[in-house]
C-alpha cells in the first residue's frame, strides 16, 4: 500500500515535471505537447509505478532487468509502455524483450543481433520491438553508448532486422560536460539518421538535471526520474 501522503507527493512531482516540460517547450519555441515524458521508475516499487499509471502516466523507464522484469510482470494489466534504458548484456536480452516495448540503449551490432533473435523467439511478427541507438557523447564509453561514427551502421542493422523497428536515438549528457553542446551534437546525428530513415524521429535526451537543454536541442522525449519521484539513493 502506498500511503496517501506519498500518493500526493507523486502527483505533485508529476505535475511539476509536466510543467517544466511545458515551460521548456514554450521557451524553445516548440509546440505544446511535442515532448513526451518517460518516468524513470528504477529503485521505486511497483506499487508506486501503479500510482503513476493511475495518474495517467503511460511511459515508464527501467535500467536493470532483475528489477524491471518482476515490476513489469506485476503491472502487466496497467497498459504501460516499458522503456529499457540501461546497459544491456546479451544474456539478458531474452528476458527484456518479453516486457519492454522500447529498448533505448542499443549500442552495438552484436546486441542488435541478439535482440532480433530474441524478438523472433519471444514476441513474433505481431509485436515489433522499437529500438533506439544510444550515442556516447563523451570520452567515457564505459557508461554505454556507441561512438558517433558507429551510429549509422547500428541504425542500418536495426532497420534490416525484420522484428525490430528503428525509433531514433538516445543519449545521456556527459557527467562533467556541457549539456547544450552534447545535445546539439546529438541533434546533428539525429538529422543524419532521419535523412536515411525518415520515420526514425525519436530523440530521447534530457533527464531531471538537463531537460531544458535537451528540449532546446530538439529532444522529442525526456526521461525524468528524481524530478517526478524524488530522491533516489545512488546505486552502486
Ligand atoms: C536514471 C536515469 C534517468 C533519470 O535520471 P534523473 O536524473 O533521476 O531524472 C534517465 N536516463 C537514464 C539512462 C537513467 O539511467
Convert the pLDDT of each residue in 146-174 to its tens digit.
999 999 999 999 999 999 999 999 999 99
The burial class, CB within 10 Å (0-12 / 13-18 / 19+), for 152 is middle
The answer to whether the predicted template modeling score (pTM) of the entire model surpasses 0.85 is yes
Determine the average pLDDT of the residues in 6-27: 98
If you average pLDDT over every residue of the chain, what do you get? 96
The pLDDT, as a whole number, for residue 113 is: 98
The burial class, CB within 10 Å (0-12 / 13-18 / 19+), for 151 is buried
Asked if 110 and 138 count as a contact pair (C-beta separation under 8 A), the reply is no
Closest residue by Cα to atom 11, ligand 1, is 223
Q: Which residue, 176, 235, 236, is CA-closest to 43?
A: 235
Distance (angstroms) between ligand 1 centre and the Cα of 162 equals: 30
What residue ranges define each of the domains in the chain, with the CATH number in brackets?
4-229 (3.20.20.10)
The pLDDT, as a whole number, for residue 233 is: 83
The larger pLDDT score, comparing residue 175 to residue 195, is at 195
- Ligand 1, CB cutoff 6 Å, lining residues: 40, 42, 63, 85, 172, 207-209, 223-227
Q: Among 38, 84, 207, say which to mutate for ligand 1: greatest number of ligand atoms within 8 Å of CB.
A: 207
Amino acid at each position: 500500500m502506498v500511503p496517501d501522503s506519498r500518493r500526493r507527493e507523486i502527483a505533485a512531482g508529476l505535475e511539476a515535471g509536466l510543467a517544466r516540460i511545458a515551460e521548456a517547450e514554450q521557451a524553445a519555441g516548440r509546440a505544446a505537447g511535442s515532448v513526451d515524458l518517460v518516468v524513470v521508475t528504477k529503485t521505486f516499487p511497483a506499487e508506486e509505478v501503479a500510482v503513476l499509471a493511475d495518474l495517467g502516466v503511460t511511459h515508464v523507464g527501467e535500467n536493470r532487468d532483475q528489477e524491471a522484469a518482476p515490476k513489469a510482470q506485476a503491472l502487466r494489466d496497467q497498459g504501460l509502455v516499458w522503456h529499457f534504458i540501461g546497459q544491456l548484456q546479451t544474456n539478458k536480452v531474452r528476458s527484456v524483450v518479453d516486457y519492454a516495448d522500447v529498448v533505448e540503449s542499443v549500442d552495438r551490432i552484436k546486441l542488435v543481433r541478439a535482440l532480433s533473435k530474441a524478438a523472433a523467439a519471444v514476441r513474433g511478427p505481431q509485436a515489433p520491438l522499437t529500438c533506439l541507438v544510444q550515442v556516447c557523447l563523451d570520452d567515457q564509453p564505459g557508461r554505454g553508448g556507441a561512438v558517433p561514427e558507429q551510429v549509422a551502421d547500428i541504425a542500418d542493422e536495426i532497420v534490416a532486422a525484420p522484428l525490430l523497428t528503428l525509433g531514433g536515438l538516445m543519449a545521456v549528457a556527459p557527467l562533467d560536460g556541457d549539456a547544450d553542446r552534447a545535445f546539439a551534437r546529438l541533434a546533428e546525428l539525429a538529422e543524419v539518421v532521419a535523412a536515411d530513415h525518415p520515420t526514425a524521429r525519436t530523440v530521447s535526451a534530457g533527464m531531471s538535471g538537463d531537460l531544458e537543454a535537451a528540449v532546446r536541442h530538439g529532444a522529442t522525449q525526456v526521461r525524468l526520474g528524481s524530478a517526478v519521484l524524488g530522491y533516489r539513493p545512488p546505486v552502486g
